[in-house]
Amino acid sequence: MATEHEKFSVSVIVPVYNGEAFLREAIQSIQRQDWGAAEIVIVDDGSTDRTGEIATGFGDIVRYVQQPNLGAAAARNRGIKMAVGSVIAFLDADDLWLEHTLSLQLQVLQANPSLQMVRGHTRRIHRVAVPSGASQWGSLGEAWPALSLGSAIMRKPVFDRVGYLDESLAFNEDVDWFMRAKETGIATMLHGEVVQLYRRHEHNITNNRVLNRTSFLRTLKNTIERRRNNGE
């Protein structure tokens, strides 16, 4: 008899733009999972570096596709449409998973059949110097329950209810999607375990404070308008 473990198949979607400095380690962190992914869908959002070479070097576990530079939301949406798994997970090309990320979250989903999404905590890490003169990644503050797709897994039919990510948003499209999921009544559990390592570096889009603030305000405005339209 097939077990519930065998019934879950996971598609991990990795949007990437010029990610040659980080992509290999991100993919390796997916491969190290103690509950393996059925596929890794890498959507290259118009990279001009060695991203494609690195992605295709991992063999059949990776499904690699290129598109023009349309933004992270469009890349994630394409990945969702390509995915064959019953469960969807995301990992940005410059972030990492811990080895237990999938098993921990899938076990929660398995134990609670009514759940549609499971979220964990994120820890920031950054480069720190070591005596040898090289650098390594060190912790940067306490973990927190970020509204980050990389810290969540969800059953694929969730996107039929909530819809895809808003491609008109250059940033905070994940926050907007989580807000819509909450408004739609998606059954979600948040646990306290760290499942994602968010690598802080000079190319993070979050470094653009103007874009960050503008996108967040637009996301908040959209949320308020939806609630007003729903009579809240």
Instruction: Give the domain CATH number at 113.
Output: 3.90.550.10
Q: How far apart are the first and last CA of the chain?
A: 47
Range of the domain at 146: 4-168+184-201
Beta-carbon contacts of 152 under 8 Å, excluding residues fewer than 6 positions away, are 89, 90, 105, 117, 118, 119, 120
Strands 188-200 and 117-129: parallel
Query: Would 38 be classed as within a structural domain?
Result: yes
pTM: predicted TM-score of the whole model, two decimal places = 0.84
Query: Would 150 be classed as within a structural domain?
Result: yes
Tell me how far apart the alpha carbons of residues 148 and 226 are, in angstroms, rounded to a whole number. Answer: 21
Q: What is the pLDDT of residue 172?
A: 87
Q: How many CA atoms lie within 13 A of 123 on its CB side?
A: 18
Number of domains present in the structure of the chain: 1
Query: Would 160 be classed as within a structural domain?
Result: yes
CB 190 within 8 A of CB 122: no
Tell me how far apart the alpha carbons of residues 8 and 208 are, in angstroms, rounded to a whole number. Answer: 38
Output the CA angle 221-222-225, nearest 5 degrees: 85
The pLDDT tens digits along the chain (232 residues) read: 334 444 789 999 999 999 999 999 999 999 999 998 999 999 999 999 999 999 999 999 999 999 999 999 999 999 999 999 999 999 999 999 999 999 999 999 999 999 999 999 999 885 554 555 544 555 656 888 999 999 999 999 999 999 999 999 888 899 999 999 999 999 999 999 999 999 874 554 554 555 566 666 666 767 667 666 776 6
Query: Would 132 be classed as within a structural domain?
Result: yes
Query: Would 15 be classed as within a structural domain?
Result: yes
Q: Which of 151, 132, 179 is nearest to 92 (CA)?
A: 151
Q: What is the pLDDT of residue 125?
A: 82
Write b or e for each residue in 45-54: b if 16 or more Cβ atoms lie within 10 A of its Cβ, otherwise e. bebeeebbeb
Query: Would 18 be classed as within a structural domain?
Result: yes
Query: Would 79 be classed as within a structural domain?
Result: yes
Q: Which of 196, 135, 138, 208 is nearest to 170 (CA)?
A: 208
Query: Would 218 be classed as within a structural domain?
Result: no
Tell me how far apart the alpha carbons of residues 184 and 174 are, in angstroms, rounded to a whole number. Answer: 15
